[in-house]
A and B are shown apart, each in its own frame.
Chain A
Amino acid sequence: MWFDIKLAWRNIFRNKRRTFIAGTAIGVGLASMIFTDALMIGMKDNMIRSATKSFLGEGQIHREGFRLTQEVDKTINNLDGVISRLENEEVVERFTLRAATFGMITSPANVSSVMFYGIQPSSEKFLSQIDDVIEEGAYFKGDQEREIVIGDDLAEILEVGIGDRTVITVTQAETGDLIQEMFRVSGIYKFNVKEMDTGMVFVRLAKAQEMLGIGSDVHEIAIKFEDIHFASKEDNPFWSEYSVDGNEAVSWTTLLPQLEAVLGLFWISLLVMGIILFGIVAFGIVNNMFMSLYERMFEFGVIRAIGTRPSGVRRLILLEAAALSILSIILGIIIGFLITLIFVKTGIDYRGIEIAGTSIHEMLYPVIHIQQFIIYPVAVFAFTLIIGLYPSIVASKMSIAGALRKSL
């Protein structure tokens, strides 16, 4: 076997240029797979962060049924107990309380339906990015209870600016009566997500609670975990532990199913790309092996004539494929690592782009994982051997006399 390995290794260097071209093609294919995988992981993390950090949070707690109906009276049960437990959870980094209901916002020029949120500015800024995307005015800087922060698209619809008056109309919880309050626009934000920029308004939580008549109750607790991946696990016991007393705790994957679907699509596109790349690699290998085979037809005739069994010829060709594969893998790993590393340092600027209702706010950085340098190289190696079977079978079945005539 050692002799065969030595022979195969030397054979692939007989035509250095061809080996270099084939090896580079396979190596670049592998490098592309490694880079794309790293990019996908980076994009996934970025999108999750963007989606959860914009406003959603990585998880939320509500009263059961609230997410479906958004009814004002469906406030979280046993709020003090829930808050007390959350404060003692090691996995929870931050949380914030929100009141939320459908409402109407009116200006002298126009009217629009909106999602009306009462928030705690001091804790909300750790859970969402409203304060980061303020374009005009300020994010609840003073102590005015009639401050309202709205999106720039909504401001355009209402034809209002900083300091202008708007009226919010909502339904009260107990009585079902409509109540109106005047607010002055104190801040205008821009998330680059149409639904948010046209359909969400924020006031202080206490004022919202007062308007809605829900006392000190809230409709939503948004949670940020110590580890972003913690929330991605839907079978995590955290969700069931907080889905008690008529409440429900859900992760961002439930709140934003379209994002999960898009991420699934990313992996499918990676798979398709992988198949295409592996197809190119396959043609490269088959072409290289057949060129080498036909060039050395007489030589194969000789080694068969002097007693090498067909299995010996198959083994030799497969070892040559393996040797080519190992060279290509080394090259692919180096190229893949260097390219990925460059983009890990510089990042890719997708900021401002909206994907699946999620606006990308951060630079996109590929994420290097050790698995990328194990799984894909092993796959390329196995794939090369599988592809190498074809020329090896052809070589082992050739007519020896026919092969020996090739020199004449």
Chain B
Amino acid sequence: MEDNGKKIIVTKDVKKYYKEEDIVVKAVRGIDLTIESGEFAAVVGPSGSGKTTFLNVISGLDTPTEGKVWLSGKLLSEMSGKELSDLRRDRIGFIFQAYNLIPVLTVEENIEYVMLLQGVPKEKRHEKVVQILEEIGMGGMEKRFPPKISGGQQQRVAIARAMVSQPELILADEPTANLDQATGGELLDMMRELNKKTGMTFLFSTHDRMVMERADRVITLKDGKIDKDDRKAKN
């Protein structure tokens, strides 16, 4: 493969078709895209435009029907299931629309889950959890269970879980969809700050205008293809 240097995601003619009740759905119809390290980018488009499918493909959660995906210079199609799991564990942080914390684990346990998979020692895990909770404004809430905190707080914890192991890439699928405008805006600002502070790459899938306004780059998908790729001057 060509030298991708600081290119964290490179896709070449990625297509993803799947069958739904005997009908072939062409969700992604050939996307060439490069995301560079440290970007704060958003993939936008109406429902059914292929945003989530595309995010699934570039994160190795789904395999493309055609085309190639490189993540941190590694060609995903050449990796085994175990290697993909390890790649996601070590290099990608996920934020989902519905927070998706494990309800039977405390805030601390949810955040330390990835570090546990990485084999980080207990003391170090605790230290990092406390630190990141302070950063997201939830200090002292380590022992709370997700059902006992608000939606906004749950999404903060989800962000903390995604970022605590300092992955290169954060993939956020509609992270503000279940939040009110004020909370959503606040969280986006927080992620923007973290992006600036840590240099982590953020890629959103969204149709939320607040995300588009804050993103440095807005990639618009239409019918499974890139319709527009707008870059803003960095602040």
CA–CA, A299 to B103, complex, Å? Answer: 10
> What B residues does A407 contact at CB under 8 A?
96-98, 100
Most buried by B among A3, A298, A307: A307
Q: When each residue 173-214 of chain B gets 1 if its CB lies under 8 Å from chain A and 0 otherwise, what string results?
A: 000000000000000000000000000000000000000000
Is B24 among interface residues, defined by CB-CB distance under 8 A? no
Inter-chain contact A309/B103, CB cutoff 8 Å: no
Residue of B nearest to A397 (CB): B81
Residue of B nearest to A298 (CB): B100
CA–CA, A74 to B162, complex, Å? Answer: 94
State which of A13, A304, A307, A309 has its C-beta within 8 Å of the C-beta of B114: A307
Inter-chain contact B61/A303, CB cutoff 8 Å: no
Residue of A nearest to B59 (CB): A305
Min C-beta distance of A226 to chain B, whole Å: 59
CA–CA, A102 to B114, complex, Å? Answer: 88
Is A265 among interface residues, defined by CB-CB distance under 8 A? no
Inter-chain contact B117/A312, CB cutoff 8 Å: yes
Min C-beta distance of A400 to chain B, whole Å: 4
Is B62 among interface residues, defined by CB-CB distance under 8 A? yes
Min C-beta distance of B148 to chain A, whole Å: 14
Min C-beta distance of A395 to chain B, whole Å: 14
Inter-chain contact B85/A310, CB cutoff 8 Å: yes
Interface on chain A toward B: helix, strand, loop, or mixed SS? Answer: helix
Residue of B nearest to A9 (CB): B104
CA–CA, A308 to B86, complex, Å? Answer: 8
Interface on chain B toward A: helix, strand, loop, or mixed SS? Answer: helix
Inter-chain contact A308/B56, CB cutoff 8 Å: no
Is A404 among interface residues, defined by CB-CB distance under 8 A? yes
Inter-chain contact B103/A303, CB cutoff 8 Å: no
State which of B62, B104, B113 has its C-beta within 8 Å of the C-beta of A306: B113
Inter-chain contact B116/A310, CB cutoff 8 Å: no
> What B residues does A312 contact at CB under 8 A?
117
Inter-chain contact B89/A306, CB cutoff 8 Å: yes
Inter-chain contact B85/A299, CB cutoff 8 Å: no
Residue of A nearest to B97 (CB): A407
Inter-chain contact B102/A307, CB cutoff 8 Å: no
CA–CA, A10 to B104, complex, Å? Answer: 6
A-B pairs under 8 A by CB, number: 70
A307 touching B62 in the complex, CB below 8 Å, given contacts A3-B109, A10-B105, A298-B100: no
Inter-chain contact B103/A14, CB cutoff 8 Å: yes
Inter-chain contact A303/B116, CB cutoff 8 Å: no
Residue of B nearest to A401 (CB): B62
CA–CA, A403 to B61, complex, Å? Answer: 10
Query: Which residues of chain A (122-145) have a CB below 8 Å from chain B?
Result: none
Is A293 among interface residues, defined by CB-CB distance under 8 A? no
CA–CA, A310 to B90, complex, Å? Answer: 16
A401 touching B56 in the complex, CB below 8 Å, given contacts A3-B116, A299-B100: yes
Inter-chain contact B56/A7, CB cutoff 8 Å: no
Is A399 among interface residues, defined by CB-CB distance under 8 A? yes
State which of A14, A302, A307 has its C-beta within 8 Å of the C-beta of B85: A307
> What A residues does B85 contact at CB under 8 A?
304, 307-310
State which of B98, B102, B114 has its C-beta within 8 Å of the C-beta of A7: B102
State which of A11, A307, A310, A401 has its C-beta within 8 Å of the C-beta of B117: A307
Min C-beta distance of B108 to chain A, whole Å: 11
Q: When each residue 286-330 of chain A gets 1 if its CB lies under 8 Å from chain B and 0 otherwise, what string results?
A: 000000000000110011111111101000000000000000000
Residue of A nearest to B165 (CB): A307
> What A residues does B117 contact at CB under 8 A?
306-308, 312
Most buried by B among A11, A308, A404: A404
Inter-chain contact B96/A400, CB cutoff 8 Å: no
> What A residues does B90 contact at CB under 8 A?
307
Please list 8 pairs of residues, one from A and one from B, whose beta carbons are closer than 8 Å in the complex, sorted by A's number.
A298-B100, A302-B94, A306-B88, A309-B81, A310-B81, A404-B56, A407-B97, A407-B98
Given contacts A306-B162, A401-B53, 15 further A-B contacts (CB under 8 A): A3-B109, A7-B104, A10-B105, A298-B100, A299-B102, A302-B102, A304-B61, A307-B86, A307-B90, A308-B117, A309-B85, A310-B81, A310-B85, A400-B61, A407-B97
7 closest cross-chain pairs (CB), A and B? A307-B89, A10-B104, A401-B62, A401-B56, A400-B61, A309-B85, A302-B100
| Chain A positions near chain B (C-beta within 8 angstroms) | 3, 7, 10-11, 13-14, 298-299, 302-310, 312, 399-401, 404, 407
